[in-house]
Structure 1
């Protein structure tokens, strides 16, 4: 009777294998989730930077008649209101070219910039 209930040596060697596999799968899933979160933050920051650049360029283009300094000052005001930093502003005849930067907080990986450039004119 005892032989029927005895485990084979092969079954005893597999004890805990499913637990280890589940732990590895959970760790991989967690790593993928964290990476997707960081990627999402970077994409959102890039879109914010592009929106800030577009609106800053449009705002500056509306003030080109007041002079390049007034146009770029207005672009700076608009970009700062969108929590972006105006890197450069250049008036090229009637067009305005604006470069904007938004910082990305990447947790343990530090802080990085998301940059965008926009051009607007009449």
Structure 2
């Protein structure tokens, strides 16, 4: 066996290069996953806000069912209405959006809409 200072570490640079490239690839995958989650979270919040507002408007105007309207608006915003609750004049909705991340398949955001008290 030769001592390390006598060239016994030939090829270690290749292994180090492979490790560095692998770490960089894993970092890029992590950044892409976090980016997808943030985009889907924003979409879910937008869909939830729009669904709650349209449901509250339908409730105020006395037209069709507010939750049916909320489901329609959530679907138009590429979301899925998971819950819809009417409390007096307020409407509370939860909307989910599917992600491309395997460990977090869906993000869900909530929103509430209704008339503002004047007093």
Query: Structure 2 length as normaliser, TM-score?
Result: 0.83
8 A Cα contact 2:44 2:109, kept in partner: yes
Q: How has the CA–CA distance of structure 1 residues 15 and 102 changed in structure 2, closer, same or farther, with 3 Å as cutoff?
A: same
Structure 1: runs of 5 or more not aligned? 1-7
Number of equivalences: 113
Higher gyration radius (CA) = 1
Q: For the Cα contact (< 8 Å) 1:48–1:102, is it kept in 2?
A: yes
Offset of residue 11 of structure 1: 4.2
The 1-side partners of 2:60 and 2:52 are apart by: 14
Give the whole-Å Cα distance in 2 for the aligned partners of 1:51 and 1:74: 15
Is it true that 1:10 corresponds to 2:5 in the alignment?
Answer: yes
CA apart distance, 1:16: 2.0
Quick check: which one's helix share is greater? 1
Q: Trace 1:55-94 onto structure 2 (pairs within 5 A).
A: 55-67=50-62, 70-94=65-89
- Decide whether the 8 Å contact of 1:68 with 1:91 is kept in 2: no
| Distance change >3 Å, CA 47–CA 9, structure 1 → 2 | closer
Alignment-derived partner of residue 110 in structure 2: 117
State the shift of 1:110 in Å: 6.4
Distance 1:62 1:25 in 2: 56
* TM-score normalized by the length of structure 1: 0.81
